[in-house]
Structure 1
Amino acid sequence: MRRTTPLFSLLLAAALTLTACGSGEPEAKPAADGSPATLRIGYQLIPNGDLIVKDQKWLETALPNTKIVWSKFDSGGDVNTAVIAGSLDIGLAGSSPVTRGLSAPLNIPYRVPWIFDVIGDNEALVARGGVTDVKGLAGKRVATPFSSTSHYSLLAALSEAGLSEADVKILDMEPPDIQAAWQRGDIDAAYVWTPNLAELQKNGGTTLVTSRQLAQRGKLTADLAVVRDEFATKYPKALQTWLQQQDRAVKLARSDKDAAAAAIGRQLNLDPAEAARQLGQLVLLDATEQRSAEYLGTPSAPGKLAENLHSAAEFLKTQKKVDAVPDLGVFQKGLATQELADAFPGN
């Protein structure tokens, strides 16, 4: 159950706990070639290119003098906490947690070097018990991971339907807990992502709205990479290598869908056909598309992702989820466009 302490206090306490558990130990010396001794990656069980990179051990091959540590997280809010604690170098977080991370009171010193995916039908609001539209959720118990893209999308869907947070009982649960609560009958609806979403849909869930539909109405969400500023500055070559492997994964998903689905299936314990279906619900972008004006952009012209994060902050401010809306420039500086350009100088 979520404690009633304010978000910042909760994150700070968690950060101190993680530091006490060992993340505050002196950093290991870099390898002789200047690569980091260890690269700590926070991943999530989302069927995108990151799982392909993990499954194929491309980073382990490309950075032979670096120990690659993969740690699983259930939500972007937890990734934010780990970055604050100094226990992660690169992680996956949704656009809503990243918006909050770049806003007060968190002001996390990280930047966005890559878009793992633009969220589509793989994230959705589902309900049961005869509820067929969002308005029907009044008085119902709705679960979602707080501070996630699903939470942001849930608030947007409720607002669209003329409902406030007070009109429903919103419960803070991580995806595995949502699935368990659904099976017990403890909740009436949930906004969550695959693979847990697929299980809810199989077990009596009616899809009320998807993140793809909300994006078409101006509420776009995405899964983003975040890298600690300190790591990006100290180990630019390692970050470039990481970016190149992510681009390689996107290209594999396009050129050999069977191989990509097999890799993702192994990581999610799904058969290849189901993994392929879930992969197809996302929009993956290669390096050239990442650098376009529509997304990250270039060092001289930051892309529309900054505007999207700024717009999300404005919405979250109305929902009292951030203290204040930073200037657009804060989000533009939060895009690692130079690092992306350096990784792909020919693009």
Structure 2
Amino acid sequence: MKHRLIPALALVLGLAACSSGTGATQAGVSASGPGGAPKEIRIGYQLIPNGDLIVKDQRWLEEALPDTTITWTKFDSGGDVNTAMVAGSIDIGLAGSAPVTRGLSAPLDIPYKVPWIFDVIGENEALVARQAGSVQELKGKKVAAPFSSTAHYSLLAALQDAGLAEADVTVIDLEPPDIQAAWARGDIDAAYTWTPVLGELRKTGKVLVTSKDLAAKGKLTADLAVVRDQFATTYPEALRTWLAQQDRAVKLVRSDKQAAAAAVGRQLNLDPAEAAEQIDELVLLDGKEQAGPDYLGTPEQPGALAQNLRSTAEFLRSQNKLPSVPELTVFQQGLATEELRDAFAG
């Protein structure tokens, strides 16, 4: 979920390390196959218990696009997804609302749009401490989070809400797998991270605040899909197919929770019962719900997600994490409302 502000040169140099996808053209879009379908779709996914893992596990996209190679590349954070997008090595990816805010803002200005909300983050992302009963008690402690991620954003919001400045704690930049290792060694006192690593930390630590708690205070976060502008323009039918499979996954969660949990469990190497619990910590929305005013909205009336992203930018600017705050229209134009409408028309 999740996300890193990196100078453009470093982003481009990170291409080889950030994706195993192949076959990109100079413009960063895979060549056409029969009927105008892409020969390859390069997808950046994360280990988050939402519908994307169901689509991957069930191979629905491969079945729907038999003439297209689907390349799935795992990322540990949305910051790395932004890096891969800038480098041109993926076509569709998952990133949290904080990194997407950065991606749509200067200096990154990544040419991508949001066609889908994978989930609204709830209790699956939280601040866990080893020996602290409140956020205030973290003063002077070492706290880990993946920098520029939704978790990092939420950590800063939690500190501010508790009357602490970022400088009151030692914030350490670690990806979730490294957080788990550092926790096991006793190198950190607390961490803000997401499942499945969060589940391991909760076994021995105390949850101080969750992203659901922060959302109730106006600091909502979400895991968003981002699609390269050129891919969306060149392959609109393939994007509609991708959206249809994501919608299908959400409906499977609602109609057959056992099957959905089994699919997610296989991808996360979890028992289906535990996978089901983690799914329940997220809010999943189907296509029609996403086109509503509270989320992506329509081409005529962009939804509240645009304002949420701008509010995130304002907060990040107040924390000196962004040089400036874009106009609301930047975020409205960053929502792929036409593509969403076309996918679920009728």
For normalisation by structure 1, the TM-score amounts to 0.95
Secondary structure of the residue aligned to 1:283 is coil
Q: Are residues 17 and 280 of structure 1, via their aligned partners in 2, closer, same or farther at CA, if it must alter by over 3 Å? A: closer
Matches for 1:51-62 after TM superposition, within 5 Å: 51-62=53-64
Deviation at 1:14, TM superposition (A): 3.5
Match of 1:172 in 2: 173
Over the matched positions of the two proteins, sequence identity in percent amounts to: 70
- CA distance in structure 2 between the partners assigned to 1:298 and 1:104 by the alignment: 25
Secondary structure of the residue aligned to 1:8 is coil
Secondary structure of the residue aligned to 2:283 is coil
Whether contact under 8 Å (2:5, 2:148) holds in the other structure is no
- CA distance in structure 2 between the partners assigned to 1:318 and 1:23 by the alignment: 41
Match of 2:232 in 1: 232
Query: Letter of the aligned partner of 2:345 in structure 1?
Result: P
Deviation at 1:19, TM superposition (A): 6.1
Secondary structure of the residue aligned to 2:158 is helix
Give the alignment's Cα RMSD to 1 decimal.
1.5
Whether contact under 8 Å (1:19, 1:86) holds in the other structure is no
Match of 2:137 in 1: 136
Secondary structure of the residue aligned to 1:162 is coil
- CA distance in structure 2 between the partners assigned to 1:188 and 1:248 by the alignment: 41
Match of 2:79 in 1: 77
Match of 1:13 in 2: 10
- CA distance in structure 1 between the partners assigned to 2:23 and 2:310 by the alignment: 31
- CA distance in structure 1 between the partners assigned to 2:281 and 2:64 by the alignment: 29
Matches for 1:183-194 after TM superposition, within 5 Å: 183-194=184-195
Match of 2:150 in 1: 149
- CA distance in structure 2 between the partners assigned to 1:329 and 1:246 by the alignment: 27
Match of 1:267 in 2: 267
Secondary structure of the residue aligned to 2:254 is helix
Whether contact under 8 Å (1:299, 1:338) holds in the other structure is yes
Deviation at 1:325, TM superposition (A): 0.3
Match of 1:276 in 2: 276
- CA distance in structure 1 between the partners assigned to 2:235 and 2:303 by the alignment: 24
Deviation at 1:18, TM superposition (A): 1.5
Matches for 1:1-347 after TM superposition, within 5 Å: 7-9=5-7, 11-18=8-15, 26=26, 28-129=30-131, 131-202=132-203, 204-346=204-346
Whether contact under 8 Å (1:133, 1:208) holds in the other structure is yes
Q: Runs of 4 or more off by more than 2 Å in structure 1?
A: 6-9, 19-29
Instruction: Describe the superposition over 1:192-237 as per-residue Cα deviations: whole angstroms up to 9, x where unpaired.
Output: 00000000001x2100000001001100000000000010011000
- CA distance in structure 2 between the partners assigned to 1:44 and 1:31 by the alignment: 27
Whether contact under 8 Å (1:75, 1:148) holds in the other structure is yes
- CA distance in structure 2 between the partners assigned to 1:264 and 1:91 by the alignment: 18
- CA distance in structure 2 between the partners assigned to 1:28 and 1:118 by the alignment: 30
Query: Letter of the aligned partner of 2:137 in structure 1?
Result: G
Instruction: Describe the superposition over 1:119-145 as per-residue Cα deviations: whole angstroms up to 9, x where unpaired.
Output: 00000000012x000000000000000
- CA distance in structure 2 between the partners assigned to 1:61 and 1:24 by the alignment: 22
Secondary structure of the residue aligned to 1:171 is strand
Gaps of 5+ in 1: 1-5
Query: Letter of the aligned partner of 1:138 in structure 2?
Result: K
Query: Letter of the aligned partner of 2:113 in structure 1?
Result: R
Deviation at 1:15, TM superposition (A): 1.6
- CA distance in structure 2 between the partners assigned to 1:281 and 1:28 by the alignment: 36
Deviation at 1:270, TM superposition (A): 0.2
Whether contact under 8 Å (1:55, 1:263) holds in the other structure is yes
Whether contact under 8 Å (2:5, 2:102) holds in the other structure is no
Secondary structure of the residue aligned to 2:90 is coil
Deviation at 1:107, TM superposition (A): 0.6
- CA distance in structure 1 between the partners assigned to 2:180 and 2:298 by the alignment: 40
- CA distance in structure 1 between the partners assigned to 2:335 and 2:286 by the alignment: 16
- CA distance in structure 2 between the partners assigned to 1:24 and 1:82 by the alignment: 12
Task: State the aligned residue count.
Answer: 338
